[in-house]
Structure 1
Amino acid sequence: MHILIRCDASLSLGSGHVMRCLTLADALAAVGCKVHFACRSGPGDLLALVASRGYEAHALSVPDRRSDFEAALPWQEDIEALWKALPAELDFAWCVVDHYGLGHEWETAVRLRARRVMAIDDLDTRRHAVDLFLDQNLSAQMRTIALPEVAHVLAGPRFALLRPAFANPRPECQGPIKRVLVSFGGVDAAGETLKVLTALADLSELQVDVVAGPANPHWTELVERCRGRPTWRLWQHVEDFAGLLRKADLSIGAGGGTAWERACLGIPSLCVSLAPNQRANAEALAVAGAHLYLGDAAQVSGAAYRAAVQTLQASPGLRQSLAARGRTLVDGRGATRVATALLGMELHLRPATFEDTRLLFRGRNAERVRQASVNTDPIGWEQHQDWLRQVLAQPERRLLLIAETLDGPVGVLRYDRQRGQGAEVSIYLLPERLGQGWGEHLLRCGEQAVQRHWTDLESIEAQVRPGNLASLQLFQRAGFLLRDHQLQLSLPRISS
């Protein structure tokens, strides 16, 4: 399945959009997708990095003349450049667009070559015409611009696009602050890194790691600032940024994507906004207790940085609280969930056959599946075979479905017809698919399949083992309502 990602990086725009799209691309490639990037070429474009990661990189040879990167691009010009850059015979199952300058007009036009469209956007300033929409910020619930009714929305840090390396938090540290990591992204055109280093100059007891990208215009000054300080190290390229961040007792950075990385690893942090689009989320993270927010970078002095570091040095309890709250908000599996949501729209359901006996036996007897089931007892092989024969012999009463995607089976749905116009659903995921967000997609696809099988069906019911909060929340996200201790989904009438 071919997927197109449209995003840009530049010296003024920064690298954040391309970097988070590379994370999503890795998750999609892991399940067999062929990912292509389309980016405007120019200084700091990261096209070479995209290609080095194994993805097709299509350069759009059209300059970006805007001074405000939240302003709209001339979308017709951009589409024409895209068509010129792409091979004429290449069409896409999906186009993912992560760009502050492109909105609903562009998304409508790209459907000439893409069957479905997904937008990644953390601003509330433009309309969208998409099938899937991602806003990974805490402020996502406050959006005011309406999305199309058909759009499936992924909102909040549960879907933060982080590399797998960030999924394992650092052990809780109760000692003093010994090591500080300073990073303001791949560009830092405003020179915030220099301001922080000036603030830390008098705190000689600290070991400081300074991460600045190759596009940083202040590189020479940073080299001078770190020279002669044996406990300071300047990094231009870090192969394992997660590993370096995990060693820090405190991190200082911006309110973009690295805010999620710091939270996920449980690193106490000081945060500023480098651009207006970072402000709302940085403030929301502070309200949630995940970091200390100092305000817009242009208004934060070196003295304010120094005072904040000293406050955290004197407050180990506050540091532990910031770390714990960050880990609660972000678990590091967002990229897998987003890829699952995208591929969930490609999910295929087929009727089970007796050839699926071993697949069903393995899935139903998996430890985590049994513990979440109403009946937690293991099923014997002979008993399982007899049960499957009975189910397959009663299509008028039972419907057993296998859900599959590009790289194989995902899970199982069973519908048992009840008296009247109702049915009861049972669901489980194969053990290797647990925790990836597939359950809701199975239930929604199954809803359509069971209505086609029994056209007079009016409702679906479900039972959840007492105390199984995860299953209860799954059914509620899929539209089931809890009524008299019973989960129920009412179905719309199908026109004859």
Structure 2
Amino acid sequence: MRLLLRCDAGPSTGVGHAVRCAAVAEAADAAGHEVLWSGRLDGLDWLWAGLVTGPPRTVLPPADDAGSLAGLARGHRIDAVHVDHYLLGDDLRDPLNAAGTVLSTVEDFATGRRPGDVVVDPNLGADEHPRPDDGSPLLLRGPAYAPLRAAARRARRERDAGHPAGAPPRVLVVMGGTDAAGLLPRVVAALDAAGAPAEVDVVVPPGRSPELPAGGPARFRAVAPLADLPAAMAGADLVVSAAGTTVWELCCVGVPMALVLAADNQTDGYRTVVAAGAAAGLGGIGELAAPEQAGAVLRGLLTDPGARDALARRARTVVDGAGAGRIVDAITDAVRRVGGARGSAPLARTSPARAGQDPRVEDTTAALHTRPATLADAELLLAWRNDPDTRRNSRSADEIDLDTHRRWLAGSLDREDRYLLVVSDTTGPVGTVRWDRDCRGWEVSITVAPERRGGGLAAALLQAGEDALRERTGSGTPLIAVVHRENAASARLFARAGYVDDGTGPDGEGFRTLCRIL
């Protein structure tokens, strides 16, 4: 597949669009696709230096309207265009389709909204926001589709390996690649007003030179834009950030964060992340005009490691870091559905997540995606859990109430030894996969939505859950399934998936243990 990425980066637009496209470029390159760019991309050496793929191999002139973009697609035999740009208009799809090209387009709630063959909105809560039906056949909505660079996933693992307590706390301040709203001086003033000891690194974009305080309990240092910003995040006790693309990297790494509302289009995402308990909110330009209010919030975080840890635990449940690969998979499927550009043969899937795909799973797996569960899923998960057939085949058959379930869910999301996933297709959630770790390995529990039973989804859910766990733990992880001796369907499912009896036989309640290595 030949994939064209269309975005701009600069003082007026910021660099978030380019950062998101860079993550898609890495995923597409890893899947064996050819990637080209179109746009104004000057001053991004720091970004290219941190990518697995390095700088773009081919940068075409910026195409600023539907006709010129379709012309680029025709001239360079492009199979799909991925647009991360708010200002190109909402008339791109038909001209591109007429050129034999699939359109993938990114929106942030209503900002940048346009019809597309694939529509991506990576914001927390996007999948619950009403969206007008504009004929877009595939909507990828929510943080499961946050396109993150490989560096963010690497930093997540590094932080998992152990993060020593620091005294005083280490703080990283990053207001985006350009600080287009000029917020750095106000954020620095708020940290100074906090009156708490801290070692503060302030990422200063080119052309900015904020005056850094001296003589207070916090020590400030200016640093240039970082090629591996996620690695710096992993080494911080607190990050103060604009509420843009950086938020999803921070969630993935699992870093306590305090967010600043830097632009109107960040409002919905800012409010949702703060309301979810994944970040502290400092407000926008108005709230930062007097530093004392934000300073009080920051002082609470700087002096209370428990408060920081609570933010980090909740943030990690929001984003798993595999969104870019899911986007590339969806674009590949869209190209394949139209037969490839210029009537070429259907594209073979080469994404690492699908390479060597288990033959037990039909093509439905390509349409499934997983995301970590959130508190917003409480009622949905409870309805599935209390379904009579689900309880009949579970070790705990009692029906439970919503308050009890919410307490259980909140506790589950904060646990490192539990990984709770919601699995969806293009119609919405279709089931859940839960992994629980003990001394033997990770035990799996699968629930197919009652209304979707009988459609052969169980095997697809199992593989989707295994793929998600592999992203978290790597290969070689011991897996466990506990199946009642009367549940023949589950026994067949796990047998086909390579799980074998551990030889201990059924327990006193008739459950036997099956095992395999991931």
Query: Shorter-normalised TM-score: what interval?
Result: 0.5 to 0.7
Please state how far the C-alpha of 1:201 moved relative to its aligned partner: 3.4
- For 1:450, the equivalent position in structure 2 comes to none
Tell me: CA distance 1:308–1:101, structure 2 relative to 1, closer, same or farther (3 Å): same
Which of 448, 459, 482 matches 2:450?
482
- One-letter amino acid of the structure 1 residue matched with residue 131 of structure 2: I
Q: Using the alignment, how far apart are the partners of 1:409 and 1:267 within structure 2?
A: 32
Query: What does residue range 174-323 of structure 1 map to in structure 2 within 5 Å?
Result: 178-201=169-192, 203=195, 205-214=197-206, 217-219=207-209, 221-222=210-211, 231-300=219-288, 301-323=290-312
- For 2:349, the equivalent position in structure 1 comes to 405
Tell me: CA distance 1:470–1:180, structure 2 relative to 1, closer, same or farther (3 Å): closer
- For 2:344, the equivalent position in structure 1 comes to none
Q: Does 1:110 align with 2:96?
A: yes
Please state how far the C-alpha of 1:314 moved relative to its aligned partner: 3.6
Q: Using the alignment, how far apart are the partners of 1:150 and 1:12 within structure 2?
A: 29
More off after superposition, 94-103 vs 19-28: 94-103
Tell me: CA distance 1:195–1:313, structure 2 relative to 1, closer, same or farther (3 Å): same
- One-letter amino acid of the structure 2 residue matched with residue 9 of structure 1: A
Tell me: CA distance 1:127–1:329, structure 2 relative to 1, closer, same or farther (3 Å): closer
Please state how far the C-alpha of 1:238 moved relative to its aligned partner: 1.4
Gaps of 5+ in 2: 338-346, 370-389, 396-417, 432-447, 457-518
Tell me: CA distance 1:112–1:54, structure 2 relative to 1, closer, same or farther (3 Å): same
- For 1:381, the equivalent position in structure 2 comes to none
Query: What does residue range 8-407 of structure 1 map to in structure 2 within 5 Å?
Result: 8-40=8-40, 53-60=55-62, 78-82=65-69, 86=72, 89-125=75-111, 128-149=114-135, 151-167=137-153, 168=156, 170=159, 171=162, 178-201=169-192, 203=195, 205-214=197-206, 217-219=207-209, 221-222=210-211, 231-300=219-288, 301-345=290-334, 404-406=348-350
Please state how far the C-alpha of 1:123 moved relative to its aligned partner: 3.0
Please state how far the C-alpha of 1:346 moved relative to its aligned partner: 5.1
Q: Using the alignment, how far apart are the partners of 2:111 and 2:424 within structure 1?
A: 31
The 8 Å contact of residues 181 and 263 in structure 2, kept in 1 or not, is answered as no
Instruction: Tell me the TM-score normalised to structure 2 length.
Output: 0.63
Q: Using the alignment, how far apart are the partners of 1:317 and 1:156 within structure 2?
A: 28
Secondary structure of 1:129's aligned partner = coil
Please state how far the C-alpha of 1:335 moved relative to its aligned partner: 1.4
Q: Does 1 or 2 have the higher relative contact order (CA < 8 Å, sep 6+)?
A: 2
More off after superposition, 142-151 vs 467-476: 467-476
User: Residue deviations 1:12-46, cap 9 Å, x none?
Assistant: 111111111011111001111111111147x7688
Q: Using the alignment, how far apart are the partners of 1:472 and 1:292 within structure 2?
A: 26
The 8 Å contact of residues 168 and 198 in structure 2, kept in 1 or not, is answered as yes
Which of 436, 439, 453 matches 2:365?
439
Please state how far the C-alpha of 1:328 moved relative to its aligned partner: 0.9
The 8 Å contact of residues 8 and 18 in structure 1, kept in 2 or not, is answered as yes
Secondary structure of 2:91's aligned partner = helix
The 8 Å contact of residues 211 and 234 in structure 1, kept in 2 or not, is answered as yes
Tell me: CA distance 1:20–1:87, structure 2 relative to 1, closer, same or farther (3 Å): closer
Aligned residues: 375
Tell me: CA distance 1:239–1:346, structure 2 relative to 1, closer, same or farther (3 Å): same
The 8 Å contact of residues 241 and 247 in structure 2, kept in 1 or not, is answered as yes
Gaps of 5+ in 1: 63-76, 349-402, 415-426, 430-437, 444-462, 491-496
- For 1:435, the equivalent position in structure 2 comes to none
Q: Using the alignment, how far apart are the partners of 2:279 and 2:217 within structure 1?
A: 28
Please state how far the C-alpha of 1:292 moved relative to its aligned partner: 0.7
User: Residue deviations 1:308-332, cap 9 Å, x none?
Assistant: 1111134332211111000011111
Tell me: CA distance 1:470–1:200, structure 2 relative to 1, closer, same or farther (3 Å): closer
- One-letter amino acid of the structure 2 residue matched with residue 218 of structure 1: R
User: Residue deviations 1:434-481, cap 9 Å, x none?
Assistant: xxxx824389xxxxxxxxxxxxxxxxxxx9x97999899468846975
The 8 Å contact of residues 210 and 233 in structure 1, kept in 2 or not, is answered as yes
Tell me: CA distance 1:82–1:141, structure 2 relative to 1, closer, same or farther (3 Å): closer
Structural RMSD (CA): 4.0
- For 1:493, the equivalent position in structure 2 comes to none
The 8 Å contact of residues 38 and 82 in structure 1, kept in 2 or not, is answered as no
Q: Percent identity?
A: 28
Q: Using the alignment, how far apart are the partners of 1:45 and 1:87 within structure 2?
A: 24
Tell me: CA distance 1:145–1:249, structure 2 relative to 1, closer, same or farther (3 Å): same
| Larger CA Rg, structure 1 vs 2 | 1
- One-letter amino acid of the structure 2 residue matched with residue 405 of structure 1: R
Q: Using the alignment, how far apart are the partners of 1:472 and 1:21 within structure 2?
A: 26
The 8 Å contact of residues 278 and 314 in structure 2, kept in 1 or not, is answered as yes
Please state how far the C-alpha of 1:150 moved relative to its aligned partner: 5.0
Q: Using the alignment, how far apart are the partners of 2:279 and 2:258 within structure 1?
A: 6
The 8 Å contact of residues 177 and 249 in structure 1, kept in 2 or not, is answered as no
